[in-house]
Amino acid sequence: MRTLTITRVVHASVLVDFDGSAILTDPWYSERSGYYPGEPVGIPLKALPRLVGVVVSHRHYDHYDMDAFAAYPDKSVPFAVKRGTAVPALTAGFRTVMELDPWETVSLGGVKVTAAPAKHGVPENTYILEAAGFTVFLSGDTLLIPELDEVARRFPHVSPCRKLETRRGRTGAMMPKANMSSRTVTKMKPSAARRLVSMRPLFSPPVAGTCHPDPLELVHQP
């Protein structure tokens, strides 16, 4: 039985564990003036498991905190980042940093990472992660743009524009924990979820939002 476990770290940082292959998104492990997480960190940096990769949506400090993440001991862990934004990770000592534009693909420890379009105040990617029979869409800070329709065309069981429910200001789950008929999860920040609510007809497969205070474990029974 394969599992997907998603644990909120803070803000847009989420640990996505595909049956033992763990990806960290948008690491943020410090504070500075004007930037306060406003919540406890779900997994301290020292408690992170062995990662097979790190995925970064864009270069804003609260999504790409390399000054703090430089303390992560395994400098061989590979990164997937927006093209033109590799320098912070390289400067922090990480040796493998792959820059992507939309529809380019890399493999991070057996997890297939596909960059997809995004629109923000700085260059940004969204991403589709695939492994262990599961698919996860990472929306970062993107606005709703027509180019995201291509995500649904290329990945029919992913809807970046799916209506999400919110709970206590966070995106809530819309998928059962076991015996799933779908193997798709969508991660987006609450602000992004609010922008997307009711903006398009609902897609048929269930989708889950992972910005949630507790770990969300999904089980795939082939």
- Convert the pLDDT of each residue in 25-52 to its tens digit: 999 888 777 777 777 888 899 999 999 9
CA 156/CA 214 separation, integer angstroms: 28
For residue 179, the one-letter residue type is N
Q: Where are the domains of the chain?
A: 2-220
Please tell me the least confidently modeled range out of 66-70, 90-94, 148-152.
148-152
* pLDDT, average across residues 69-89: 97
Percent of the chain with pLDDT over 70: 71
CA angle 153, 159, 147 (to 5 degrees): 55
| Region of 29 on the Ramachandran plot (φ > 0 left; ψ -120 to 50 alpha; else beta) | alpha
CA 174/CA 110 separation, integer angstroms: 27
Q: What is the pTM of this model?
A: 0.77
Structurally, at CATH architecture level, domain 2-220 sits in 4-Layer Sandwich (3.60)
Percent of the chain with pLDDT over 90: 41
Here the contacts of 31-40 (C-beta below 8 Å, separation 24 or greater) are 32/61, 35/61, 35/62, 37/10, 37/11, 39/10, 39/213, 40/10
pLDDT at res. 158: 67
Burial of 170 (0-12, 13-18, 19+ CB in 10 A): middle
pLDDT score of 211 more than 70: no
Average pLDDT, the chain: 75
pLDDT band at 217 (very low <50, low <70, confident <90, very high): very low
Q: Among 111, 136, 107, 141, which Cα is nearest to 125's?
A: 141
Q: Among 16, 15, 57, which Cα is nearest to 142's?
A: 57
Q: Residue 146 phi/psi, 5° resolution?
A: -60, -30
